[in-house]
Structure 1
Amino acid sequence: MNAWPNEEGDGMGPPVTRTGSAKPPTPTLKNGSDLRESGYLIAVGSRTARFRRKHKNKMLIACLIIVLLLLLCLFIAMTVLYIKQKRHKTVKVCESRECLRSAANLALSMDRSVDPCYDFYQYVCGNWGAEHPRPDAFRSYDWFRDKQTKVYTAVRDFLNKNTTNQPKPVQQAKDVYTSCMDTDKLDKRGLRPAIKVLELLGLPSYPTFLNITDVDYSTYSFDWVQIVINVKTKLNMDVLIGFDIVTDPKNSSVFRLIMGSPETTNPFPSMFNENKQQKSKRYHAHNKEYYQRYLFNGVNNANKKIDEDKEAEIYKLFYAHLIKMFVLEADGVKKSNLSEVELDRTIFLTADAFYSMSDDMYELEAANSTDESLFLDIPEYTVDKLQKNTDAIVELNNATAIPIWKRYLEGIFNISEVTLDFEKDTILVSDPDLKYMSLMAAYVARTPPVLVELYVWIKVIEVMGVHTTSELRALYERASEELQNGHAIASRSLQCANVVNDLLGMAISYAIADQDFFNVTKPKIETMLYELKNALAHLVGLTKWMDDDTKLATYQKIVEMKTLVGFPDWLLEDGRLEEYYKGIDVHTEKYMENLISIVQVKIKNGLNKFRTSNNYTWATDPTEVNAYHTFQENTISRQFDKNGNLLPWWSNDTIKAYINKTQCFIDQYSSYYIPQLGKHVDGKKTLGENIADNGGVKEAYAALTKHLRKGGPELKLPGFEDFSSEQLFFLSYGNLWCGVSTVEALKSDLEDEHAPQHLRARGALQNNRDFSRIWHCAPGTPMNPDKRCTIF
């Protein structure tokens, strides 16, 4: 049979022979029924089919499970490999010199054993003092002073170098430094340069009060107004009368005359390294330590304060020695009819008389108001009206009134190119300053002329003397050490570098300026400032206590805000530096004359600007390590509008809401306790700066986050690869306030409008929610308090 025939025969194999008993052959199948009946087809529902299907499904499921397990194992393996790769992924680290320096400073300053959520200042600055020991020359030493000292060191090193092809003012700066460093020449010249200055001013070589030559006091006259004019025009120094030219509070494009208590009491640079006094005494508290700092770099640097009697004795002995040196220099002993003992007694009595009058004058100045709000509306007077008010007070004190103010102003402007119109040119005088001027005139009117001369004489000599001989400098240093219980003095080279930098700061800046700063660094800083302004505008927009009109005015002010970065743009232009210092005459062997030449040019330039427009120039030298804001040159201040004018631009409702919010800051900072002093911070006095700190750090952080979203993550600092950019931001902010202070320095800090530095870091960050989030501080920890004070 051939069931499925093929070419080879039967497709199922060879033919099969059946026996006779075999079943007959099956007929040809015609259809499906036939197939089923014949047994060729089995029904699908048969047990055989189910059995085969069941085992086939099990095998399929098993295969699927195996595949899923393999995929799961593969996923786990890939995840592990990814995590390992992530952990060991090469982090992009900034290796520039600036980044390495920043990383090293942070690492050496930090105390990582401290929980940042409990004491962030200690965490950031715990080891700063050990790495930056306070030099004996300073009562306190902080981040700013450390950087400033490095700048002065760089200035000193430049001044010691031999350079060529520099502009004339740069060479003049080197010449001033040379004259300052030549102590042999200074000693050889003795006090003669100072005596020549006294003659130039119309003052004697030594005080007439000594009466060495039997002067008839009853007929002695002293034209104190003319001498005070001479002191101002020759030395740019205020004695008895304070005078300045300032930006008009209500129109920042013009200048105004302003008078009051003495402000520029030392026109020459300090030979010590205390902080510069940037604040105007006219609008701030008169502090005795501030008053004395010009001479002795502050007082009382140790834990135990010397008593007032001892302090007075030190001062009187200092002035007595000062007077005697000039008596000896002018051969006064030979002219005297007194014995040496009598002369010494007379000199000490003279010093005592000066000290008494100095105390009286200090009390008159100290009576000046400390209320800064007085600056908001200073009255203006004609010269005649000012004189009438003064005359009335003088006559009430049973003294004879004399013309003062018109004569004084005419004498001042005689050295300038400006002629005053006394009918139109009014003078700004605050009420406290008017009181001082009237009482001062009355006091001088009833004081013997010989005593007034003594007062002016010593006020002039005490600022010049330290710039003369080694003997006289040693006298200053001994008095300073006694007042401050062992206070040390900076090296002569740093002192002289400080002098040159203060007098010729732009020339020094030119010498150390780097063209890359203008091309590379400055554009980056300007971009940063642009981002900060945008962040500030955004924060203002989110405030609920400002109404829409005030917000709009604030936006306009932000747009108009001016920034001065690094160095003036004109600094490296040919000829501009020579024009800036035109008229200065300098010699390598005439140190005192160099100082006077420079300050005389400055006073003339200051007077000549009276009729000019305000061009918003630099308020400080570029070499100073700090940042300043000038209200009238447009900063965020509710008193001054976008043009820097003293005009109301906040609505009354906004002002009320602002005042309500400030009470929180007053209470917060007043709760900060200084255990070394047993006193609390004055939250009201420090309110303005505290709000600035709080708003500033929040504004800066907002700018950073937007910068990171736009530009992506920044390079890591070496050694800080595990810190985020946000954490580094707060580390840098905290590090800014690192420092060490003596108890007396802390005491001075409490008299300032700034809170002590460690509390500036603490307060601003306690109020910052982003800080506690970034550092994962649990609620209720010191750096994540339940109550926060906010403005923006």
Structure 2
Amino acid sequence: MESNTVVLQVIWSCFHHLIQASAKIFTNMAKLPVATLAVIGFIALLGMNDAYVIQPRTLQRVLKDQARITKEGIAPLITADGKAICTTTECVVAAANLIESMDLTADPCQDFFQYACGGWIEKHPIPDSKSRWTQFDILRDELTEILKVILREENNPNDAIPVNTARDMFTACSDTDTIEIIGLKPLTDLLALFGNWPMTQNTWDEATFDWKTATVAGRRLYGTNYFLSVFNYLDSENTDQSTIYIDQSSLALPRSILVNPSGSPEIMSAYSTYITDAAKAIRDYLATGATDAQIDADVLAMWTFESELAKITTPAEDRRNITRLYNPLLVSEVQGWTDSVPTITNNGKINWEEYLTNIYSLADITVPSTERVIVTETEYLKKLVALLDVTPTRTIANYIHWRFVKDLGGYTTQQMIDLAFAFSSVLYGTSQPEARSTTCANQANNLVGFATGAKYVERAFDEAAKTETTLMIANLKTAFKTLVDDATWMDADTKAIAREKADYMSEFVGYPDWIKDKAALEAYYDGLTATTTAHFQNVQNANSFLNKKDFLTLRGPTDRTRWNTYPSIVNAFYEPQLNSITFPAGILQPPFYGLGRLANMNYGGIGSVIGHEITHGFDDQGRQSDKYGNTANWWTPETLANYLERAQCFIDQYSNFTVASGSHVNGVTTQGENIADNGGLREAYRAYNFYVAANGAEPLLPGLEQFSSDQIFFLSYANLWCGVETPERLEDQILTDPHSPSRFRVIGPLSNNEDFAREFNCPAGSPMNRVDDCILW
């Protein structure tokens, strides 16, 4: 139970919010009826009185009760022309938030992002610990604050064991005194397993190092992927079974920076300093006597090698063809493939049967030479063997050890955390590290997310949201199918298959029911342990536990009911190989969704997100799989040609969007997200029209009576993407993120949307009503 103090804080938050709302609405609309302000005050007083009689509940439930009383106790307000005004608490607060976000001095037909979000940006400077500040980030911080309350509580025998395990993890992470006493020992002990980090040693014997042993250990213990990415998932051409995938490696920096280091001198200088200072910290801790000159020379050789490694990887824009990435081979055939590379040394030689078996032995799985695996980048394997063959063992060892230090150093001393932050401040533009409590809560959530998610759902989620969102999904699917019916560029046979795929799409909303069952939650995490004094070891134990759990799915049947994410996360997902959409509890809150809000706001919010995820099943990659998630070309040649022409429109359009530095959005790598944004918006608007046809016109929002319900729909959509980024973060997003920057997630879809142009009376050819608009769905 929450304390009385928390309850009073909740009610005060409600009261404070309402007072602010009434001031904003009154300021915005000088002619606002006095009765509206009376209603607002009455609701606030009800809230204050309730503080003495209600049981502890979330703010959302308090607001819901107030709205009920308001609806039952006061007649609705009517405008001079006979239109109803919504006066519930939810409508008052929602109206205030929209008004606060808007810049009414901007022209909505010139720049709708500024019009909808200018006020929000002005009032929400980026916090020092952030490189961006968006609606998503605010919700994530609010969710983290709830998790902190849960994780700071004493262990409770009435809670499931994994919940208390999460608390132990949080406690160990928060105990910086003990972490400092332990020092770098857990990290240096790990490095010692592979012969120690050469540049930190006065003498080093290359015979003590084998890159295969080190990368296997990293994959087993921490899920890292150095040189090779090895994982198991559904076979994309037969999703009834799982298989092992072998892919190119992860990189420590964005590929484009490593490929052309001279193009980013400030970042590369900071990166070199980070490596150098980390090496010196470990050298000093071990007191090995390695010289600064030796470290400097090794750092230069190492990142020069890393640049060459980046060059043999395939860029993201060339990895969107699923068929090209699907290369099934027996392990023995992979062996022959890499053995065919002429070599001088043995640095690059790989015994694949041994390598894969060593990884999967964590789950007691043997991978024989007859195992069928899927290689995504066959040429990369050959190039890797050739590169490693000509690279000194010392350089390879320095690189692998550095990757361990970079990935795991943050679980050790403040010195290592400070070194990482100094580099990230250059890469992302942050000026202050995030609070330790935030870091620790997020780490626990990432490692034991179903346990923390169970408590989050218990404390902060209303079951009605799950029911209503499920109904909205059904409406969005219907809307998508009508758009398919209206598509003049599709033939009848392809339309039929598209509708069938939409119908077959499975959905996951809120949370998996089993996490509410204490026994089921304990069974899921059976074998996971943690202490309150060993943070580094806790992280290793949890990662190893999750890796083993994942490896075990290799030999099991496909479970199409399994949740692949936890509920305490602010995001939504489409999974191509399952043809499924997921909306965790964390995202089912304002501004995306709100119980008691007008439907235009919910359809403009979470409705467009639902539509976005549905459309992913039909974007440039989703279109390559069928209703079961199997790779299949179900398009007739003529319709596919039409599709590709329309998809190219999005590539060209978004490639012309530029940020302040002059960098262009990558229209190729962002095309899937851009298609989903555009399609999701159109589907949500159509679904909202279905809602109105079935339920009647909605009332207006107080203080925003000049806006029609349809205009509020579009304002609610744009409001989702209000946000601002540091210049550094924006550049990194352009280089690495498949999503377009926030501004273009508003400008792009709305300027392509004829319904928006009509509702806001934007003349043809204006920036928000393109003549050359792009439409797929």
TM-score exceeds 0.5:
yes
**Equivalent in 702, 718, 721 of residue 702 of structure 2:** 718
Shift of 1:701: 0.7
1:519, CA displacement in angstroms?
3.4
- Change over 3 Å in CA distance of 1:532–1:313 after alignment to 2: closer
Q: Does 1:104 align with 2:96?
A: yes
Within the candidate set 494, 498, 511, 2:442 is matched to 498
Post-superposition CA distance 1:20-62 (Å, at most 9, x none): xxxxxxxxxxxxxxxxxxxxxxxxxxxxxxxxxxxxxxxxxxx
Q: Distance in 2 between matches of 1:660 and 1:452?
A: 45
**1:612-635, Cα deviation, whole Å (9 max, x unpaired):** 122243333322212221111213
Q: Deviations over 1:93-137 (max 9, x none)?
A: 2524x4444322211100112232332222111111122111122
Q: Distance in 2 between matches of 1:762 and 1:216?
A: 58
Report the AA paired with residue 724 of structure 1. S
- The match for 2:273 among 308, 317, 322 is 317
Secondary structure of the residue aligned to 1:427 is: strand
The alpha carbon displacement at 1:707 in A equals: 0.6
SS at 1:258's partner residue? strand
For residues 195-210 of structure 1, the aligned pairs below 5 Å read: 195-199=188-192, 202-204=193-195, 206-208=196-198
Residue 626 and residue 486 in structure 1: after superposition, are their counterparts in 2 closer, same or farther (change >3 A)?
closer
Q: 1:136 aligns with which of 104, 128, 131?
A: 128
Give the alignment of 1:59-458 within 5 angstroms. Answer: 87=80, 91-96=84-89, 98-162=90-154, 164=156, 165-199=158-192, 202-204=193-195, 206-208=196-198, 212-213=202-203, 220=207, 222-263=209-250, 286-288=255-257, 308-309=264-265, 311-333=267-289, 343-365=291-313, 370-375=318-323, 378-395=326-343, 402-423=349-370, 425-430=371-376, 433-458=377-402
Which has the higher mean CA deviation after the structures are superposed, 581-590 or 162-171? 162-171
Aligned-residue RMSD, C-alpha: 2.9
In structure 1, the partner of 2:4 is none
Pair 1:693-2:677 in alignment: yes
SS at match of 2:232: strand
Change (3 A) 1:223 1:756: closer
* Shift in alpha-carbon separation, 1:211–1:777, aligned structure 2, 3 A: closer
The CA deviation string for residues 290-314 of structure 1, in whole angstroms up to 9 with x for no partner, is x99xxxxxx9xxxxxx975554443
Q: 1:318: how far off?
A: 2.7
1:177-235 Cα distance to aligned partner (Å, 9 max, x none):
11111111111111122233334xx224x43455524x566xx3533322322222222
Number of equivalences: 658
CA shift digits 1:445-477 (9 cap, x unpaired)? 343333333222222122221211122222222
Shift of 1:258: 0.8
- Match for residue 522 of structure 1 among 466, 490, 493: 466
Give the direction of change, closer, same or farther, for the CA distance of 1:745–1:307 in structure 2 (3 Å limit): same
Distance in 1, matches of 2:396 and 2:78, equals 83
AA aligned to 1:742 is: T
AA paired with 1:138? Answer: K
Over 3 Å counting, the alpha-carbon distance change for 1:548 and 1:515 in structure 2 is: farther
1:685 CA drift (Å): 4.1
Amino acid aligned to 2:373: I
Structure 2 CA distance for aligned equivalents of residues 450 and 679 of structure 1: 38
3-state SS of 2:441 partner: helix
Matched, 1:472 2:419: no
Is residue 622 from structure 1 mapped to residue 567 from structure 2 by the alignment? yes
Identity of aligned residues (%): 30
* Distance change in 2, residues 1:381/1:128 (3 Å): same
Task: Call closer, same or farther: CA 1:486–1:788 in 2, change over 3 Å.
Answer: closer
In the superposition, the TM-score normalised over structure 2's length comes to: 0.79
What is the deviation of 1:486? 6.3
CA gap of 1:229–1:648, structure 2 versus 1, over 3 A, is same
Aligned 8 A contact 2:130 2:430 in 1: no
Amino acid aligned to 1:618? W
3-state DSSP of counterpart to 1:381: strand
Amino acid at match of 2:524: Y
**CA shift at 1:748, angstroms?**
3.1
Q: 1:221 to 1:640 in 2, by over 3 A?
A: same
Tell me how far apart the structure 1 counterparts of residues 388 and 111 of structure 2 sit (CA, whole Å).
56
Quick check: 1:533 aligned with 2:471? no
CA shift in 2, pair 1:367/1:461, >3 Å: same
Tell me how far apart the structure 1 counterparts of residues 472 and 768 of structure 2 sit (CA, whole Å).
28
- Equivalent position of 1:555 in the other structure: 499
Give the drift of 1:240. 2.1
Structure with larger Rg: 1
What SS is found at the alignment partner of 1:154?
helix
1:671-750 counterparts in 2 under 5 A? 671-674=656-659, 676-750=660-734
Deviation at 1:679, TM superposition (A): 4.6
State the partner residue of 2:637.
Answer: 652
Instruction: Give the equivalent residue in structure 2 for 1:592.
Output: 536
Question: Contact 1:286–1:370 (CA<8 Å) still a contact in 2?
Answer: no
SS at the partner of 2:473? helix
TM-fit CA distance, 1:420: 2.9
Secondary structure at the aligned position of 1:563 is classed as strand
Q: 442-451 or 490-499: which moved more?
A: 442-451
Structure 2: how far apart are the matches of 1:404 and 1:85?
Answer: 77
1:60-103 CA-to-partner distances (Å, cap 9, x unmatched) read: xxxxxxxxxxxxxxxxxxxxxxxx9861768352524x444432
Deviation string for 1:153-174 (max 9, x for gaps)?
2222322234632111111111
* Cα distance in structure 2, aligned partners of 1:87 and 1:257: 67
SS at match of 1:621: coil
For 2:186, the aligned partner's letter is P
**Residues of 1 paired with 2:88 and 2:332: CA distance?**
68
Q: In 2, distance between residues paired with 1:517 and 1:715?
A: 27
Work out the CA distance in 2 between the residues paired with 1:556 and 1:100. 41
Q: CA deviation at 1:368?
A: 8.2
Partners of 1:85 and 1:389 lie apart in 2 by 76
* 1:768 CA drift (Å): 1.9
| Partner SS for 1:564 | strand
**Structure 2 portions without partners, runs of 5+:** 1-76, 580-616
In the alignment, the residues of structure 1 paired with residue 113 and residue 143 of structure 2 have an alpha-carbon distance, to the nearest angstrom, of 26
Distance 1:772 1:251, change over 3 A: same
Question: Using the alignment, how far apart are the partners of 1:652 and 1:331 within structure 2?
Answer: 68
For normalisation by structure 1, the TM-score amounts to 0.77
What displacement does 1:780 show?
A: 4.4
Give the structure 1 partner of residue 578 of structure 2.
633
